[in-house]
């Protein structure tokens, strides 16, 4: 045998060993797996909900927050449109009103958000400073520009109340739940082949998620990824206005920093909560807000630090315009961070925002936390990064960066989720069904193996060896990526094996044809393979194309199906063409068989 053959043999043996090692942690129960192997291959085949059960989570979508958020955005639009109504700015400039003009509009017609205590009515109040302006407002103006609003009272008066339309509220509730479902599904899909169940119930405003498997440790991570709101926004920090008067005497443990700007800070484990409680009591102007971000830790005052930022409420750019996110590293400190790119709309918004605010600070706000607030040095376009603060453990930061990438890529939840219920659940199928399914799979494989050996004799035995190798590699890859195995999945694997012999059948039939033409076994094998390759590749590639498309565009179970399909095609091609050739070559060249028995 030549060196090329030994090299190919090494690949076959190597992949088989690798496949076995990847599979080992999954069969730990029957064949104890050494810790070294477990460390390298830290995934294993995850039994599906139908076989093993898992964790059942129920989240309530805080629909109310979503409606409030929408109302706030509409209020901002009303304020701007009001500028057109009273003639401060022309219609064309509505998206580009500078702060001075906005202040002027606010002087003449103030738009406030009004929350009724304990009630669901989401209202906006317009207060005109003179009758002349007030008279310009009509019901049709509201109807024309804001289809979500209706006039509740006071057309022609100085004070006008606008309410959200009831039917729009109903729509928004539905939208919030549907969007949450979509985002959650996306996030879980990004995490791999988990085969969860996600059920949305818009009427009740909740979402039920069932995650298969029994690895408690992975549940925590999954839960944190699912329930993170991940609303990213970019806001301008107001360092010019004097915010000193806002900070009324702080309680014990909260310090006022009276430097160039005033801010409050606190240290220690409860610092964030106590700071949050404190700022909730403060009276902040309607167009501003106070948010909390990390501060350099101070061991003398209690460790980790948090501080407040005084900034404009309006987010000029948000995570909705995010195109992609990835884990990166700070070139100087080497600490993990998240790099992101915006789509074209986001990039132009960002350029606009930074161009107008050079020299000011831009707060990158994720949910209710200011991640960083760098000074804008010049106009920046569609790229940016989120530094995660350099005050924590590096491994923790890296995990945080990875998780953040998952949630940013999958998009923000439209509203926060509140955990309502959490239970470990048993399998949906009885042990009996699972056992029968496993037996059927085994019998199926045996039937194929026996048939092939009878029909193709020696070539059939080669095919059988490939069937077993294929099965082992397929399970190995599944174990390596931590794929979820359901009972229908077991059937799919057995079927893949049945179908995978197709490559062997095609090749063997070709070899038969060549042998009938009177060729020597050696040249018949060479010719058989050469001729059969194109059918094998074309047929598998066509299926693979379908698989890639399903993987790209499908979600949930469809994506799971596509993943398994692609893995199956990969291992079948490898065993069916490459590995089987090594075996045949050994027969006809190494053993020099004079007559190749192919049935």
Partner 1 sequence: MEFIKPGTYIDFMKYRGPVITVLGIIATLSLVSLFYPGPNYGIDFAGGTEVQLLFKGDTSPAEVRKALQDSGYARPDVISVEDQPNEYIIRVQEVSSLPDAQVEKIRTSVATALGDGVLQEMKVSPGGDKITLRVSGPVNEQQLQEALMTGGANVRSINALTGSRDPRYEAQLVGVADELMTQLQRRFGERAPASALRVEWVGPKAGQQLRDAAIQSLLYAIAFIMLYVAFRFDLRFAPGGVIAMLHDALITLGIYVLLQKEVNLTTVAALLTIMGYSINDTIVVFDRIRENMVRVRDKSLRELINISTSQMLSRTLVTSLTTLLSVSAFFFLGTGVIQDIAFALGIGILIGTLSSIFIAAPITEFMDRRLFSRSRG
- Residues 154-173 within binding reach of partner 1 (CB under 8 A): 166, 169-170
Contact flag: residue 491 with partner 1 (CB under 8 A): yes
Between residue 256 and residue 295, which ones bind partner 1 under the rule CB under 8 A?
Answer: none
Is the backbone of residue 108 left (phi > 0), alpha (psi -120 to 50) or beta?
A: alpha
What CA–CA distance (Å, rounded) separates 49 from 5? Answer: 45
Binding partner 1 (rule: CB under 8 A), the pick from 16, 318, 502, 583 is: 502
Establish how many alpha carbons lie within 13 A of residue 365's alpha carbon, considering only the half-sphere containing its beta carbon.
Answer: 27
- Tell how strand 383-387 and strand 336-342 pair up: antiparallel
What CA–CA distance (Å, rounded) separates 86 from 126? Answer: 13
Between residue 43 and residue 82, which ones bind partner 1 under the rule CB under 8 A?
Answer: 50, 53, 56, 62-64
Taking the least distance from each CB to partner 1, the nearer of 261 and 428 is: 428
DSSP per residue over 373-385, as a string? Answer: --B--S---SEEE
Binding partner 1 (rule: CB under 8 A), the pick from 501, 582, 587, 596 is: 501
Contact flag: residue 573 with partner 1 (CB under 8 A): no
Q: Which stretch binds partner 1 (CB under 8 A): 135-143, 148-156, 407-415, 493-501?
A: 493-501
Binding partner 1 (rule: CB under 8 A), the pick from 90, 259, 299, 426 is: 426
Residue 502 beta carbon to partner 1: minimum distance, rounded to whole angstroms = 5
Residue showing tokens 């990158």: 364
Number of shown-chain residues binding partner 1 (CB under 8 A): 92
Contact flag: residue 530 with partner 1 (CB under 8 A): no
Contact yes or no for 310/263 (Cβ under 8 A): yes
Residue 565 beta carbon to partner 1: minimum distance, rounded to whole angstroms = 7
Contact flag: residue 424 with partner 1 (CB under 8 A): yes
Taking the least distance from each CB to partner 1, the nearer of 380 and 440 is: 440
Between residue 448 and residue 467, which ones bind partner 1 under the rule CB under 8 A?
Answer: 448, 451-452, 454-456
Binding partner 1 (rule: CB under 8 A), the pick from 10, 11, 375, 447 is: 447
Q: Which residue, among 101, 34, 111, 55, has the nearest Cα to 78 in the 3D structure?
A: 111
Q: Which stretch binds partner 1 (CB under 8 A): 25-33, 174-182, 270-278, 304-312?
A: 174-182
Contact flag: residue 586 with partner 1 (CB under 8 A): no
Contact flag: residue 429 with partner 1 (CB under 8 A): yes
Contact flag: residue 482 with partner 1 (CB under 8 A): no
Contact flag: residue 577 with partner 1 (CB under 8 A): no
H-helix or E-strand containing 200?
strand 197-201
Residue showing tokens 């301008």: 236
Taking the least distance from each CB to partner 1, the nearer of 62 and 265 is: 62
Residue 185 beta carbon to partner 1: minimum distance, rounded to whole angstroms = 7
Phi then psi dihedrals of residue 543, to 5 deg = -65, -40
Residues near 357 by beta carbon (within 8 Å), at least 6 away in sequence: 236, 376
Residue 194 beta carbon to partner 1: minimum distance, rounded to whole angstroms = 14
Residue 87 beta carbon to partner 1: minimum distance, rounded to whole angstroms = 36
What CA–CA distance (Å, rounded) separates 235 from 365? Answer: 7
Taking the least distance from each CB to partner 1, the nearer of 178 and 313 is: 178
DSSP per residue over 23-39, as a string? Answer: HGGGGTTTSPPPHHHHH
Taking the least distance from each CB to partner 1, the nearer of 394 and 597 is: 597
CB atoms inside a 10 Å sphere around CB 381? 15
Binding partner 1 (rule: CB under 8 A), the pick from 288, 535, 570, 589 is: 535
DSSP per residue over 148-176, as a string? Answer: TEEEEE-TTSSEEEEEE-HHHHHHHHHHH
CB atoms inside a 10 Å sphere around CB 101? 15
Q: Give the rounded distance of the alpha carbon of 135 from its chain centre.
A: 50
Contact flag: residue 433 with partner 1 (CB under 8 A): yes
Binding partner 1 (rule: CB under 8 A), the pick from 86, 142, 353, 506 is: 506
Phi then psi dihedrals of residue 145, to 5 deg = -95, -30
Taking the least distance from each CB to partner 1, the nearer of 18 and 550 is: 550
Binding partner 1 (rule: CB under 8 A), the pick from 211, 445, 525, 588 is: 445
Contact flag: residue 518 with partner 1 (CB under 8 A): no
SS3 100: helix
Contact yes or no for 85/136 (Cβ under 8 A): yes
Between residue 100 and residue 129, which ones bind partner 1 under the rule CB under 8 A?
Answer: 118-120
Binding partner 1 (rule: CB under 8 A), the pick from 549, 590, 591, 597 is: 549
Q: Which residue, among 489, 495, 438, has the nearest Cα to 195 in the 3D structure?
A: 489
Contact flag: residue 437 with partner 1 (CB under 8 A): yes
What CA–CA distance (Å, rounded) separates 214 from 362? Answer: 44
């Amino acid at each position: 045998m030549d060196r090329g053959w030994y090299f190919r043999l090494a690949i076959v043996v190597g992949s088989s060993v690798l496949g076995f090692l990847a599979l080992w942690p999954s069969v730990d129960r029957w064949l104890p797996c050494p810790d070294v192997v477990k460390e390298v291959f830290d995934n294993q085949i995850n039994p599906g909900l139908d076989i093993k059960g898992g964790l059942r989570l129920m989240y309530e979508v805080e629909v109310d927050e979503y409606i409030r958020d929408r109302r706030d955005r509409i209020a901002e639009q009303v304020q701007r449109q009001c500028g057109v109504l009273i003639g401060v700015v022309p219609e064309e400039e509505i998206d580009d009103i500078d702060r001075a003009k906005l202040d002027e509009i606010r002087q003449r017609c103030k738009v406030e958000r009004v929350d009724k205590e304990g009630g669901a009515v989401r209202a906006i109040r317009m207060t005109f400073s003179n009758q002349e302006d007030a008279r310009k407002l009509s019901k049709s103006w509201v109807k024309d520009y804001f289809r979500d609003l209706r006039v509740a009272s006071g057309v022609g008066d100085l004070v006008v109340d606008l309410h959200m339309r009831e039917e729009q509220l109903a729509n928004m509730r539905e939208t919030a739940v549907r969007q949450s479902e979509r985002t959650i599904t996306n996030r879980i899909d990004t995490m791999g082949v988990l085969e969860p169940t996600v059920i949305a119930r818009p009427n009740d405003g909740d979402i039920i998620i069932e995650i298969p498997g029994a690895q408690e440790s992975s549940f925590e991570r999954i839960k944190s990824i699912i329930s993170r709101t991940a609303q990213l926004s970019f806001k301008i920090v107001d360092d010019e206005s004097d915010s000193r008067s806002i900070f009324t005497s702080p309680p014990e443990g909260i310090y006022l920093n009276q430097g160039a700007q005033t801010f409050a800070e606190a240290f220690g484990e409860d610092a964030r909560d106590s700071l949050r409680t404190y700022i909730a009591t403060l009276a902040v102007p309607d167009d501003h807000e106070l948010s909390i971000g990390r501060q350099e830790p101070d061991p003398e005052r209690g460790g980790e630090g948090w501080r407040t930022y005084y900034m404009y409420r309006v987010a000029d750019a948000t995570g909705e315009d995010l195109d992609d996110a990835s884990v990166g590293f700070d070139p100087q400190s080497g600490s993990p961070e998240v790099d992101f790119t915006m789509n074209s709309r986001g990039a132009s918004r960002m350029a606009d925002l930074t161009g107008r605010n050079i020299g000011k600070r831009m707060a990158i706000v994720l949910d209710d936390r200011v991640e960083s607030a760098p000074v804008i040095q010049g106009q920046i376009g569609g790229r940016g990064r989120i530094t995660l603060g350099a005050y924590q453990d590096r491994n923790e930061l890296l995990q945080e960066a990875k998780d953040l990438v998952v949630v940013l890529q999958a998009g923000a939840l439209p509203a926060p989720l509140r955990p309502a219920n959490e239970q470990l659940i048993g399998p949906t199928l009885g042990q009996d069904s699972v056992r029968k399914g496993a037996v059927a799979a085994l019998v199926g494989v045996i039937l194929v193996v026996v048939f092939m050996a009878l029909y193709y004799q020696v070539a059939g035995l080669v095919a059988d060896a490939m069937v077993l190798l294929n099965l082992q590699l397929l399970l190995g890859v599944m174990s390596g990526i931590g794929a979820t195995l359901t009972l229908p999945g077991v059937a799919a694997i057995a079927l893949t094996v049945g179908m995978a012999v197709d490559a062997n059948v095609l090749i063997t039939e070709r070899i038969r044809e060549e042998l009938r033409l009177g060729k020597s076994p050696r040249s018949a094998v060479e010719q058989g393979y050469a001729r059969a390759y194109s059918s094998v590749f074309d047929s598998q590639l066509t299926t693979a194309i379908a698989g890639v498309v399903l993987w790209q565009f499908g979600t949930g179970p469809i994506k799971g199906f596509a993943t398994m399909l692609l893995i199956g095609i990969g291992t079948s091609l490898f065993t069916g063409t490459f590995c089987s050739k090594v075996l045949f070559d050994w027969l006809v060249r190494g053993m020099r068989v004079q007559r190749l028995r192919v049935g």
